[in-house]
Structure 1
Amino acid sequence: MSVRAELDHIVIGAETLAEGLGYAEAVLGVVIPKGGAHPLMGTHNHLLRLGETSFLEVIAPDPEAVAPGRPRWFGLDQPPQSPRLMHWVLRMPGLAGSLDILPAEVGELIEQRRGDLTWQITVPKDGTLHFGGAFPSLIDWGMREVLPPSAMKGAGFSLSKLEVAHPDAERIAELMAPILKDERVSFVPRPEIALTAWLIGPKGEVILR
């Protein structure tokens, strides 16, 4: 089976949404619009379009949500003490039919809904991020002619590059090789786990870490 996954969005996580927005908005110099809540996961977010097919998500545990009956996604039961770029998500059409050929690290497939928007996303059963967030989640927005980012508010930014640094970067690249088809993503072996995104905006290049 031939599958193709492309970069869908990058994720800034924080202990609180205010802290995450404070970091991201200071770097970008713009206000990031409100997204919504995820009752199943006990989280909420703000979203910013990065071109026609990608976006930035700022996410944190929702203090007003009922405690979820399962671990939160993106490892947010233990959010980072300081806001940072902590995860990335690949878009793969036909995801449900491809699970048997994907690495076990992707986890289980969960369906989410907000308003008239539905999607499927892979989440490890324990909610943790494999390889410290350097291994992506996979998402399928369903049979849509127009991807969700096109309906999001933007500020003239586009995502030009994502660097995934990890001590075992070669192993992650090997796992991703059969499905990842996006030249913006590179894997770099380094002692520390880190994600770095380069965005091109109205005033030039900015970097999120």
Structure 2
Amino acid sequence: MLDHLAVTAENLASGVSYVENALGVQMAPGGQHDYMGTHNQLLGLGIFYLEVITINPEAPKPSHPRWFDLDNISGPPKLTNWIVQTDTLDETLAKSPAGTGTPVKLTRGDLHWQMAVPDDGKLPFDGAFPALIQWEGADHPALRLPDLKCRLKQLHVTHPQADGLRDALSVLDFGDVVSVHQGPAKNLQAEIETLHGIRILE
């Protein structure tokens, strides 16, 4: 199922400001990912959540590429990635496109998970294919976040090879909250219901 959405930015403050201004809410603290040299802040979306994730300038640069192609981020904050949860990461990876990644064990505080991280940090289909995650244990970030009544209504994913992307996505189960369209590469748009009405994050 869909797990969460990722907004990437050149720095955490600009990414958080972008989300808070777009949705009219205040994001919650997140934490640090030592293995990747990144940090984040979070927003609950019901059973899903959203993270702003950026390079942590106070962390040592890792010897490997960071996830979500963060080593090459430039320009304004943007919704760049979506993450799908699986209970069988190895099996799902075997059915996924080449380059989806290699499982890496990760932690943030007392949260533990495995994530498929591409060797070059770049996910298939120009990043339009989702990152894959397997949580260890029943705990999940969405369960810890304040409920600000934000809910994801629809995630639109566009790519010039929409048919190929749909075929690749057929191995995943994320319900009807995600739709794939013909269009520019790696163009994500999220319709989010808020107390201020439907807001668009892209």
Confirm or deny a common fold (TM above 0.5): yes
Q: CA deviation at 1:97?
A: 4.2
Q: CA deviation at 1:199?
A: 0.6
Q: Which moved more, 1:79-88 or 1:127-136?
A: 127-136
2:164 to 161, 171, 175: 171
The alignment status of 1:138 with 2:127, answered yes or no, reads no
Q: 1:170-204, CA deviations, whole angstroms, 9 ceiling, x for partnerless residues?
A: 11110011223310101000135310000111121
Find the counterpart in structure 2 of residue 195 from structure 1.
188
Gaps of at least 5 residues in structure 1 are 1-5
Q: CA deviation at 1:166?
A: 0.8
SS at match of 1:104: coil
Superposition CA RMSD, Å: 1.4
Q: CA deviation at 1:33?
A: 1.1
Find the counterpart in structure 1 of residue 33 from structure 2.
38
Find the counterpart in structure 2 of residue 121 from structure 1.
115
SS at match of 1:76: helix
Q: What is the letter of the counterpart of residue 59 of structure 1? A: I
Q: 1:58-98, CA deviations, whole angstroms, 9 ceiling, x for partnerless residues?
A: 01110000111211100000113110101100011121344
Gaps of at least 5 residues in structure 2 are none
Contact 1:163 1:187 in 2 (8 A): yes
TM-score between both structures, scaled by the size of structure 2 = 0.94
TM-score between both structures, scaled by the size of structure 1 = 0.91
Distance in 1 of aligned mates of 2:64 and 2:171: 31
Q: What is the letter of the counterpart of residue 156 of structure 1? A: K
Contact 1:42 1:67 in 2 (8 A): yes
Contact 1:13 1:80 in 2 (8 A): no
Find the counterpart in structure 1 of residue 17 from structure 2.
22
Q: CA deviation at 1:121?
A: 0.7
Distance in 2 of aligned mates of 1:38 and 1:54: 20
Q: Which moved more, 1:127-136 or 1:23-32?
A: 127-136
Distance in 2 of aligned mates of 1:208 and 1:40: 28
Aligned-pair identity in percent equals 40
1:10 to 5, 11, 18: 5
The alignment status of 1:149 with 2:152, answered yes or no, reads no
Contact 1:94 1:142 in 2 (8 A): no
Q: 1:148 to 1:22 in 2, by over 3 A?
A: closer
